[in-house]
Structure 1
């Protein structure tokens, strides 16, 4: 029964859409990777996407639960965010989504 309960659980995706000051994307990427490396319980994966030729990007971070995301904000993580903040052209927009469908490469949806 627990396998069925696990199947019913949905992951969550924390999404941030932002733009960095000109020429700051590479530095922000390094800090992003350092911040993500601090995550532990409930962390399922992360992607940093870049609009080619710009300093605009989207971060997508997957979590088992919203509560686990909140418990991963360590002092080290907060210090990294403080270093990253001045690199933004303006504050990023953030969203929380429930993952309702997951299709990985070379898989076809059932049905």
Structure 2
């Protein structure tokens, strides 16, 4: 498995974006290109240059606080592990693409 920091910058960004909504993702190299996906498929044949680069998890890449922020930004719901104030009026007012941050243990607009 290749260390996350050894991946090309564009692939690291793809992995980070995918891990905002999935717990795990896979990176493979085939036909002179990297492929990032939330699942891996077994096929009957592979390209000559096929390599599994690695499996990366959200816990490895993001802190617990960042995972809560990613969850709220992606799903507009409070995750179970969130211990701050649950303001559903604020949550429902979020537009898709809104950014949030953690302030004193509570989620607020960024």
TM > 0.5: no
Give the TM-score normalised by structure 2: 0.25
Larger Rg: 2
Of the two structures, which has the highest relative contact order with CA contacts closer than 8 Å and spacing of 6 or more? 1
Give the TM-score normalised by structure 1: 0.25
